[in-house]
Structure 1
Amino acid sequence: MNNWPKFLPDPTSCARGFALSISFWLIVSLLWPNAYYYSYGFSRRYWYTMRSSDFQAVITFAWLCQILLFAFYHWGLTKLAEWVEIRRHNQQPPTVSAWQHWREGVIAFLTLPAAIVMGIPAISIFMLPVNRSSGALIALILGTALASAYLYHFRFAKLLKIILKFLGIFYADLLKIFELLLVPVVTGTPFFLLTIATAQILPKQLLPLTTFFLVVCVLLSAIVGYAALQYWSAHLVNWAAMWWPAESPGHSRIQARKAWKHNTTATSQSFVRHTTSWHLAANDATNLICLNLIASVLGVIGFLLFGESSEWSETQEEILGSAVALVWVALWHFWGWPREVEIARGKPEAKKSQSSAKKKRSPNSNSAPPNPVEQELNQLKATTGMNRMKSVRRSTQPTPEIADWYVFRSGEAKGPYTKLQLWEIQEITARTKVRRGEAEWQRAGEIPELGSYLTQK
């Protein structure tokens, strides 16, 4: 495979591309009423009454089927590879998690739309000599398969993952902004209703004071609402960390969140005494105040640019609204969220002390042990009453350790490594699967000699 041309898809990419194209277009051809009635010569009355939603439903159904089909394909190929490995080497291969199967389905699901769009030129070329519907189906399959093979070959899924991760961060920040704005509306509704009910009773001279108390009450109720959300979110994360599969995406992140001070103290403290929840609520309230100030400033800028708000066009309102939303998201992402993480994790001094202690306990100590012969001579001199002891010299540097350890990561064995490299490079934990030489795979926590080389995460 090293001599395979870089501009041509490898056999694995071609196989995946053809499987994706055939699976999709065959399902569409079987379920689309036009193809069914036209191909088999039945009544065409249904074709004239067919709604466009029928075609959209067929396309959507065939698209969703790729997740299940490719998960099944990957599972079947994995079982076949395990059977071959057992027969050839008489050894049980490493187990593949269920997420690895579903991951192939998700990749196929995301690759298919891009493959159809990019395969339009190839489909058009294959369509030129076609005069029948069966030939059109073959042209669709070949054009989409060619584009899919190239997308698999150039790792389109990795690029798509980067894009989706960026969009996920953006939408997560946007949802947090909606939460900051929605909580005061929900918790402050009773105070709004009380103000409206008593507006006719109170004199107009007390209107400024009433408005001031209303704003204060809404802000205080919002802080209580934020604290309640933060407190119960800690319980939700702790509950999810108990059953979240170890090989599934997000497992390491949710376990890290569980180790935060905010989550560890939530199990032993009540809502009223949970100080980190109130600190996080104060951070949310601070961001809420900043958001309102920014909206006011941008509103003034909009007034200077466009005039009265009643005179603004729809385009001007959309421009100003988009500017406000982007500034709010940037404020939360670069200032609000780092501050929230700092509060939830705990004091940074404690983290630094832990890291320094870890360095002191690091097995990366290449100093040679004391010479046992000179130690024994000093002990004999001490028993005979001699006061002059010879300084114990270090023994010669021990022979370097043989790298014969392997780590099972991302469905494949990586190595070989020394025990020190397992700790420094791979950062193994107690749950990491390792083996020595050709031995069976084991959890690193089950091997006593690796006890001091485990990374606590």
Structure 2
Amino acid sequence: MDAIGDYFDSIVQLPELLTWKGWHLNDRPNGTIFISREIIAIMNNKPKFLPDPASCARGFALSISFWLIVSVLLPNAYYYSYGFSRRYWYSIRNSDFEAVMTFAWLSQIWLFAFYHWGVTKLAEWVEIRRYNRQPEALSAWQHGREGIIAFLTLPAAILMGIPAIAIFMLPVRSSGGALIAVILGTAIASAYLYYFRFGTLLKIILKPLGVFAVNLLKTAEILLVPVITGTPFLLLTLATAEMVPKQLLPLTTFLLVVCVFLSGIVGYAALQYWSAHLVNWAATRWPAESPGYSLLQERKAWKHNKTATGQSFVRHGISWHLAANDATNLIYINAISLILAYISFLLFGDSSKWTQTQAEILGLVALLAWMAPWYFWGWRSEVEIATGKPEGKKKRSPNSNSPPPNPVEQELNQLKAASGINRMKPVRRAARPTPETAEWYVFRSGEAKGPYTKLQLWEIQEITARTKVRQGQAEWVRAGEIPELVPYLTQK
């Protein structure tokens, strides 16, 4: 241990120059990363087209851990299934191969979470030994996030590494050499994917799919709630159908539709009301560093969620307004479905003669048409109702260069007018405020950005209560802990 301590005593701190973004060790501003002078020189002199050492380390770790698991489990799978028969050792059954590959792929989530935890603990040990202070602890999600990134990166790395694998396979004459060629090819591709932040790119690509899934679930909710709440009325109608004269059938049908529609509104209101309680409960127990925390806090701050805790279901007007919004979307969806049904009948004729392709196209069009009202109108209306309309504020013209009137002299003139004095003192303009100095820095994406003024923190960076900022060379703190920045916080 003394030798290790002497080594770490000889290495230098590299503040805000090296960003080891791959392991997220510098996600905290007071975090410290140590690196020897030799490694610094190598990194500064390396060609720009080569990935950094952190990306290479992650790429090789991903490739080695995956292919070693495959090489160990695949022969054992054949052994336990077929014994020592030689003909099975040189044959690949799809079921065994897929099972081993899937297990090795899923194992990367836990392995890379463990790797990230181990490297973090090593960096914390170095920081404690060097500066005798305890660094900020990382949550379990930040370790698991590294495993998820590795899990998503591996298939793309294998696909993109095929050319490199083929080149390394040329001189191979044994199974061990083939394994090394596969590991090297996949490791190179993985290193470049990490270097170009493939995880962030994948998140941007998959984000529209998440929006599509959310809108699809909301549309399914709008359609299913009336079905569930209206089922008792439908059963009652069927049970009493023989007792009602046929002349009253139109009236019975009308009453059934009205009952289903009204019960659907009650179901929407109940769903909105109790979902507010569920969101408030989850917001108080959700870990601060886990994904979705800021979204839950934002929803908890909505007027709908704040008022739900102090009002009963019947008296909670916002839930009923949201239910009316959902009922309006239900009317739109049914109207669109009737129009699409009429158009499809004109285009394709008898439904019994439709081909499978025509039915699939029509189903996709109907799905998108059902989701369109909610996406373009329903969601915006729901947010406006749930958050509450902001109070309007009078803004001065941006082209006005004159300072605002002095409020004290305005009040004196009003008192003189009330007492009958006609001579008014001209209202002087208040002195123009001194321009604010840009001295605030924001910690984003592993680096300090700035300087900004307080207004620029709000307009450009859109800081929230959890954003880490500092004034000048002060310590990094969260913006919500600085009283003078509270008016400039953005609710996201």
Q: Is TM more than 0.5 here?
A: yes
Q: Secondary structure of 1:32's match?
A: helix
- TM-score for the superposition, normalised by structure 1: 0.80
Asked whether 1:161 is paired with 2:199, we answer no
Quote the residue 2:252 is aligned against.
210
Shift of 1:138: 1.3
State the AA in 2 paired with 1:455: L
Quote the residue 1:327 is aligned against.
369
149, 163, 170: which one aligns with 1:128: 170
145, 149, 155: which one aligns with 1:113: 155
Q: Residues of 2 paired with 1:396 and 1:161: CA distance?
A: 47
Shift of 1:454: 6.0
Aligned-pair RMSD on alpha carbons?
3.5
Shift of 1:440: 5.4
Q: Residues of 1 paired with 2:49 and 2:436: CA distance?
A: 43
Of 315-324 and 118-127, the range deviating more from structure 2: 118-127
Summarize deviations over 1:121-150 as a string: whole Å, max 9, x none: 222232233332222211221111121112
Contact 2:276/2:308 (8 A) holds in 1: yes
Asked whether 1:13 is paired with 2:52, we answer no
State the AA in 1 paired with 2:255: F
State the AA in 2 paired with 1:17: G
Quote the residue 2:305 is aligned against.
263
Alignment of 1:58-457 (within 5 A): 58-89=100-131, 92-348=134-390, 350=391, 352-353=392-393, 403=439, 407-409=442-444, 431-434=466-469, 441-443=476-478, 450=484, 455=489, 457=491
Count of residue correspondences: 420
Contact 2:105/2:151 (8 A) holds in 1: yes
Contact 2:268/2:326 (8 A) holds in 1: yes
Contact 1:96/1:411 (8 A) holds in 2: no
Q: Residues of 2 paired with 1:337 and 1:86: CA distance?
A: 49
Q: Secondary structure of 2:287's match?
A: coil
Shift of 1:45: 7.8
Shift of 1:229: 0.8
Q: Residues of 1 paired with 2:455 and 2:125: CA distance?
A: 34
Distance 1:438 1:42, change over 3 A: farther
Structure 2: runs of 5+ lacking an equivalent:
1-42, 397-402, 404-426
Contact 1:419/1:453 (8 A) holds in 2: no
Contact 2:77/2:96 (8 A) holds in 1: no
Summarize deviations over 1:368-427 as a string: whole Å, max 9, x none: xxxxxxxxxxxxxxxxxxxxxxx9999999898684x65555555556667776666555
Summarize deviations over 1:81-112 as a string: whole Å, max 9, x none: 23333444555544434332222111111111
State the AA in 1 paired with 2:202: L
Q: Residues of 2 paired with 1:442 and 1:75: CA distance?
A: 24
Q: Secondary structure of 2:324's match?
A: helix
Q: Residues of 1 paired with 2:334 and 2:229: CA distance?
A: 17
State the AA in 1 paired with 2:372: A
- TM-score for the superposition, normalised by structure 2: 0.75
Q: Residues of 2 paired with 1:194 and 1:60: CA distance?
A: 51
Contact 1:244/1:251 (8 A) holds in 2: yes
Distance 1:204 1:398, change over 3 A: closer
Q: Relative contact order, CA 8 A, sep 6+: which one is greater?
A: 2
Alignment of 1:14-29 (within 5 A): 14-29=56-71
Distance 1:203 1:452, change over 3 A: closer
Distance 1:397 1:202, change over 3 A: closer
Q: Secondary structure of 1:347's match?
A: coil
